[in-house]
Amino acid sequence: MNRPIKTLYVVLFILLLLPVSLLALSKLGAYRMPAQPSVLDGGLAKSIEHHYDENFPLKQAGINLWAALEYLAFGEGRSGLVVGEDGWLYSDEEFDPVADGQRQLRDNLALIRGVQRQLEERDIQLLLAIVPAKTRLYPEHTGTHQPSALQRSLYPRFHRALRNAGIAAPDLLGPLQAAKREAPMFLRTDTHWTPQGADVTARALSDVVRSAMQLRGEPQQFVTETVETRSHQGDLTRFLPLAPLFESLMPQADRLQQRETHAAEGSSDDLFGDSDLPVTLVGTSYSANPAWNFAGALREHLQRDLANHAEEGGGPLVPMLKYLQSDELKNNPPQLVIWEFPERYLPMTSDFTDFDPQWLAALKDGGERQGLAAASH
């Protein structure tokens, strides 16, 4: 950006900020301090902030104006978002290098091997479903933005480490790349896949399962139906706070083909019963959110019911660790655990505060002893 444009930008910002600041100060005149203000613990600051939020009518307008300026002038949103081309939005987690990412990657790989060891002791097979990054499947819409070297290496590196450790993890990128010519595999404005992408993934995983093992019980027919096609504003649009003043600037909403899966007519809904389900699904919001119908697609293509222990918001490791400690696993062990694991989480930290550090250390130590971390290089 040259100097005149920078200067103009600063002047416009000051002209915008001055009247808004004066109005904000005028609203503080009506503030009533609490009878016993608590300064040291931040109570007074929170009280003032609450008053400001309730009594400053231009707050949302200011947010919209600033967001519009960033979006129009620089093609940027709030931190967390990368604005691509043609209305495509991406999470910056798929682009940015991760602080201490190499060490965290090795630690996470050791935990994965520890999980496999725990399941092997119960005679349970583990199948990793590594979800390719949206940037990997749709690099043509990222514009001038390029993922860091670490991010570019994650998918092949993850597969190589799992292959060397003897953990099944079929390539899902190839089937998704082939299918994207026929239908969108990921949503433009969301971090997640479409129901079509979830279905392609479920079919690929089911083919691997059928060729490798015989699931207990008799096959059960499931039917998937499209219940509606609706407008969908993806989770990434939260990083573009343009509404309501500049809602017209928002990328066009996605069209989401909502699907539901149910047992076929004449097929028992409780063929196995909750105590004898042969398959358990663990993972993230890709599996937990019914909007994508991934669990339903797996039921259809595996021809088996399954237990879904996926969770939203915690990454792939936390729900798996919860499952390892659950009564469900202890009392009703499945034959197969499918672990849905988006590649971008491999070098990221997780919130393990609810787990015993000694148990985690033992789990990770077991994985390190069996060589998965070394296989990641």
Cα–Cα distance, 302 to 297 (Å, whole number)? 8
Secondary structure (H, E, C), 68-84: HHHHHHHCCCCCCEEEC
| C-beta neighbour count of 353 within 10 angstroms | 7
Cα–Cα distance, 158 to 154 (Å, whole number)? 6
Closest listed residue to residue 206, CA positions, set 328, 306, 95: 306
Token digits of residue 369: 């002893």
192 is catalytic: yes
Cα–Cα distance, 274 to 41 (Å, whole number)? 49
Question: Which amino acid, 121?
Answer: E
190 is catalytic: yes
Cα–Cα distance, 357 to 144 (Å, whole number)? 42
Closest listed residue to residue 283, CA positions, set 115, 88, 43, 93: 115
Cα–Cα distance, 99 to 90 (Å, whole number)? 20
Catalytic residue, candidates 91, 107, 206, 285: 285
Maximal CA-CA distance, the chain: 74
Q: Is 270 exposed, middle or buried (0-12, 13-18, 19+ CB in 10 A)?
A: exposed
Handedness of CA 26, 29, 32, 36 (dihedral sign): positive
Token digits of residue 255: 């069209």
Catalytic residue, candidates 190, 199, 254, 305: 190
Strand, helix or coil for residue 129: strand
Catalytic residue, candidates 192, 232, 301, 309: 192
Contact (Cβ atoms closer than 8 angstroms) between residue 79 and residue 15: no
Cα–Cα distance, 374 to 377 (Å, whole number)? 6
What is the DSSP code (8-state) at residue 343?
G
Catalytic residues: 190, 192, 285
